[in-house]
Structure formats: C-alpha cells, structure tokens
Amino acid sequence: MAVDFKDPEYYENRELSWMMFNERILNEARDPKLPLLDRFKFLSITASNLDEFFMVRVASLVDMVHAGYKKKDLAGMTAKEQLDALRTVTHEFIDRQYTTLNRALLPALEKNGVKLVDSYEDLNDEQSKYVDTYFKENVFPVLTPLAVDSSRPFPHIPNKSLNIAALITTGKNGSRLLKDAEKEGDISFATVAVPSVLPRLIALPSDSDKESDFILLDQIIEKNMSKLFLNYNVLCAFPYRVMRNADFELDEEETSDLMKEMEKQLKKRAWGEVIRLDVEENMDKRLLNTLKKNFHVSQEAIYPIHGPMDLTVCMDIYGLDGYDDLREKEFTPQVQPRLIDCDDLFAEIRKKDIFFQHPYDSFESIVDFIKQAAVDPKVLAIKQTLYRVSRHSPIIAALAKAAELGKQVTVLVELKARFDEENNIGWAKMLEKAGCHVLYGLVGLKTHSKITLVVRDDEDGIRRYVHLGTGNYNDKTAKIYTDCGILTCNELIGEDATALFNMLSGYSEPAYWNKLLVSPIWLRDGFYKLIDREIEHAKAGRKGRIVAKMNSLCDKDMIARLYEASAAGVKINLIVRGICCLKVGIPGVSENITVSSIVGTFLEHSRIFYFYNDGDEEVYMGSADWMPRNLDRRVEVVFPVEDPDLKECAKHILEVEEADNLKAYYLQPDQTYQRKDRRGQKTVGSQMTFCEEAIQRTNEYLESKDNETYTSRLFKPALPPEE
C-alpha cells in the first residue's frame, strides 16, 4: 500500500513548533553553566520573541476565528483548535519564564552583589528619599495621569506600553472641580503610562561599595501615585500591559502609491484589537474587570504576571556597567586574511571569489565593497536590494554618496519588511532625495533576496561584480547573526544579477537563469529537481545524501518530498533553527532524517543546501527558507557555490554544525528536543569553533612572512561513521 506522505499525522503544527523553539531559548536562560548576565539576555529574547508572536501569529489566528475560517492547517488543526492550544501553551510558558527569573536568576544576581528591589515597600529610608526626589525631578514632569468618567472616556492604550491602573476616590475635602459630579467615597478608574523615554532600571544609593541596588521605574511611579491625583485617595495601583494585533493586509493592486498606503496602514496598527492583556497576579478584581471590559478580552487572553511586567527589561540588566565578569567575552569579527592588506577589493575579487561567514568574518568588508564602489570613478552603476538595515546605515550613506557623484544607483527598498516599515520608508525618501532610483518591488511579493550588483568599467571592458548573501545588509545585526555570502565577478552570475534587477524594476521575465534559483517561479521546482536526483541515486543503489540548514521548515510539499527521499533511502540531515513541521522517526517515512537546532550566542540565520549527487557534490546558499512564503510569495535568490575552495568552506560549516553536541538540540520521535549525551565524547560547540578558527586564520596570516605561504586550516570534527 502506497504511503500518503501528506497525511496530517506526519506534520507538526507551525505555531506549536515555534513555541518549542522559544522554549529552547528559555533553556539557555535556565542553564547554570552560562554566564549569569547572558542568561538574563536569553530571557529577554524569549520575551521580545513572544511579543512579536502574539502581535502577528496569534493575532492572525484570532482574525481567522472571528471570520469563521474552517480550513485546517498541514497538521489537521483548525484556527480555533490552534488558538486554544496556544492559549494553554503560552500561559505555561510565561509561568516558566517567571519561575526562571524569580527562583534562579534574581537570587543568583543578588549573590553577585546586584539586587533588584522587589517592591518600593522594601526601600530603606535613604533610598526612599532618593526615589521621591528622582520622581519629582525626572519623572513627574513627563507623566500624564488620565482619569475616566462621563466626560473623559477610557483612553487609547498604545501597543506594548507599560501602564499603571489605579482606583481613586475623593478625599474628605472633595474636589472643587468635580464637587457636583462626585461624592465622597465614589470610586473612579485612572491610568498613567510608564514613559518609555526614561530608563526603566534606576540605580539606588547603597550602603556598600560591593553591592548595587536597582528599582524599576514603574515601582517609583506606583510609590508616588498620590502625587498625580491630589485631593484623591489612591485605593490601589497595579501595572498592566496590552498586546495588540499588529498584522495587516495591504491591497497593493488597489493602491496607486504604495508608500502612502503603507504609512496609512501603520497608523491603523496602533488601534489593533487587544489580543493579550498582562496584569499583576494579585490585581484588584474591580480594576481587572474594568480593563477586561474596556479592552474586550476573554479570560483566556488575560495573563497574570508574578514579577516585573515586560521581561525585555532583562536586556537592561544584561547591559549593566561594571560586570563584565558575568558576561561572555565579546567576540571581535575578523577581517578575511585576503583582505587585511588589500588596497583594491575589485582586483582581489578578479583573482578569486571570496567567501564570508559572518559574524566570524567581519561584515565591514561588505560595507567597504559598497563604499569603494560609491567613490570609484570606474564604477558606472550600483544596484542593491535592502530588506532590513540599521538606523545609521553606512551602506545607505554610501549609496546616497554614489548617486550624488553621478553614478546610476538603483535601490529596491522593501517597504513591507514587518516592524521595519517606518524605518524603510524613511530610508526610501532619503535615497530618492539623493538621486537614487528607488524601487518597491513587484506587486503582491516581498523582495527578501540579498544581492548587490556593481557595474565597473575595467581596463579589459565592462565587468559585473556581485555580492550574494543569506542575511540582511545590516551592519548591526551582522555582528550577532550567523550568515554567509560571496563576492564574485563570475560572468554568468553577473548576467543573472542584471536580469533579476530588470525583473524587479520593469516587466522583464527571464526565459531562463544561468546559475541562480529565483522565487516565486523557479525556486521550488529547482529544489524539487535536486531532491528528486538524490532519490534516483538512492533507488539505483547509489548513495543519496542531503544536508540542509535553514531557519524554518514548514512547507508541506517540500516536507513530503523529503519524506519520499527518506523512504527511498536518502540520508537527510536537517539543521533547522526554529520552526520545523517535519516529524522524525516515522517508520517507512522519516527514519533516515535527523533534525537538529542550534541555539547559542549568535542567532543562526544562514541557509545552506548540500546535495551529494553521486559524488559530484553541489552546494547552494541563499535567502530562502523552506516555507510557503519564501517559495511562493517572495522574491528570493539561492545561488550555487562552485569554486572548489569556497565549496569546502560551506561544507565545513555543515560538518561542524552536524557534529555540535554542546549547543545543538536534536528532534526526537515524540516531538521533543533533547541535547546529546556528551559522556565519553569530545565537546564540539560549532559557534565556539568558528570563533577560534577565525582568530587562528588572522594570527597565522599576521605571523606569516610571505602571504604566498599562508594556508587556511579548518577544524575537522570527529564525525560518527556513516551507516
């Protein structure tokens, strides 16, 4: 009987899989072997991740339930079933976050001489006076207390803002302003926002030089609430926080100006439906009912919090000055040895393609590529796609400079990059003013590809230089995300790059591509052919092997193809950082598939795809995950790594990560993720290995008297023998 590889039983729900990914990050916060402040950092990351998850994914499910959407997902779950499951899982997850904070991290922090005052009632006299003075001089002028009555309706509470709600009543003297409207003892609701423009973590005077005390800004405001409502008695005050639906649909075909429509939609985002309400665990029931009624939330959407509201404040604790011994030593990205003494980057590229593995290899080399192109009199044109860039991007500045110098500069700025829309709109306007041709991509598609094309008039004619990568042109995140890229002047890739930009700027649809795999039309079929070829080899009795590294795997058809390959005998190793809807260990379906997920200091972000091809190995890298949106609804670019030395570099990354037994979690048949038992084995941490290799390459180069004698050595992990 033929196996139905698309049986929902063979698939994990996407949202529940993402929650397991966030759980793996929480495990880092719970790991006592890590430096203490790094554990606070990981806890903060779980909180910011969860915020975005609610604003987009949970919000989308809420919309589906409201619309009566009945279609099931790849795992056979309706939107209502998914939402119900997530409410349970997220409540439990938040409980574990605060258990980690209260029982492990804060006590350990206090042992190291740093105390976060739990409540303003715990302040000593000196600290209490200091807090009151700080409030009067720094906080009070910024606050706007808002009362609610018949003439002042319930105010709009911004998304993700931290607020303090209070019940107040008129005192014995009453209110001269409202003496006819209120009687003594009448209870009113009031709220005040904790200003995000002020630091939330406030240092307190301490009796000891060896100890530091801190208090949260919200505690300071709560202590001084009576000063905001003179002639009133504050009966109680509790913090709360709302999460709103930040997901929206943009009808690009019906708008004549995409930028104006995007700006209009961004304003609407602030008024999205409340889909999560965080309240202090013991909040007064009268306050809670008022919030519940005005925000129109169900009981399931209310999350009682036992500790500081909004755990992203843990990133402030991570950044405390004077405690470097409680943080992992920061790694300094290394300049590629070939580029250390390089005066002419274009000449170096002509010699041989250059491979980059960020953040181990410095991203500054890519920035320099754009900067040099901007001022090089031989450069005629620069074309680049931008998805997410930093707030003070040197790349943007270089592109503007190039346009001012008279070069043809074309920049595709993706306005629909979620939560970077406003930033990108600002950059697009600035680039247009500088004289750049600014594109917004194809209607209905996000442009997620990472590509730069530089056209240069070399001595032997026009030549195209291309940078292709797996990550964004963001000099800030390039220090904490792992990504790969190449610089090349390969003629066929240059032709493809030109065709790609012509496709994005006009209506030119290439008949074929020389080297690149491009979505939404060509990429899916390209991957199918590569997988099918391994299936053919396996069925013919030859070795079939696939290694694929990506951020997420949730495309049903792609997973079904992998199941078919596994059933045919192809050995498949998947390194998937986040969402993975594939299940391992299913007899006759996925017995030949392993899945690992690496969670470490750096965010794993590169996409690398390896196919054994009966010994004629092929390696690809690119911007696309195996998700429906990447394969069908985005412009993505996947490129071959053909230079033998560069191919070895890409293979080496996969080999080391496959051998990781320190930071890798392995998916089990019961859908849990477990770390390997390292007893009796050499410890291999892939990120640590790559850091050491980068430093070693630099040192070897600097110690070498003759550059011609320099050879790069790669760490070879001890891999188990293949079956």
- Catalytic annotation, residues: 448
Contact 248, 171 (CB under 8 A): no
Cα–Cα–Cα angle for 610, 615, 616, rounded to 5 degrees = 70
Rounded to the nearest 5°, which phi and psi values hold at 685? Answer: -110, 115
114 to 22, 209, 327: CA distances (angstroms):
27, 11, 14
481 annotated to bind ligand: yes
**Residue 569 region by backbone torsions, left for phi larger than 0, else alpha for psi between -120 and 50, else beta:** left
Q: Can you say how many angstroms the Cα of residue 652 is from the centroid of all Cα atoms in its chain?
A: 25
> Pick from 436, 481, 512, 709: which is nearest to 606 by CA?
481
Q: Can you give the length of the chain in residues?
A: 723
551 to 597, 600, 684: CA distances (angstroms):
9, 14, 21
Burial of 151 (0-12, 13-18, 19+ CB in 10 A): exposed
C-beta neighbour count of 251 within 10 angstroms: 10
Rounded to the nearest 5°, which phi and psi values hold at 379? Answer: -80, 130
Amino acid 155 reads P
C-beta neighbour count of 250 within 10 angstroms: 16
Give the ranges where 102-229 is alpha helix by DSSP (H). Answer: 106-111, 125-134, 217-223
Rounded to the nearest 5°, which phi and psi values hold at 229? Answer: -130, 75
> Pick from 118, 97, 119, 96: which is nearest to 107 by CA?
118
Amino acid 596 reads S
Burial 186-199 (b: 16+ CB within 10 A, else e): eebbbbbbbbeeee
418 annotated to bind ligand: yes
Contact 5, 563 (CB under 8 A): yes
Q: What is the CA radius of gyration of the chain?
A: 28
Cis peptide leading into 153, omega within 30 of 0? no
What are 303's strand-pairing partners?
A: 278
Contact 678, 661 (CB under 8 A): yes
Residue 613 DSSP SS3 = helix
C-beta neighbour count of 382 within 10 angstroms: 25
22 annotated to bind ligand: no
For every residue of 192-242, DSSP letters joined together read EE--TTS-SEEEE--S-TT-EEEEEHHHHHHHTGGGTSTTEEEEEEEEEEE
Contact 102, 188 (CB under 8 A): no
Q: Which residues are annotated as a binding site for Mg(2+)?
A: 388, 418
The binding site for ATP comprises 49, 481, 577, 605
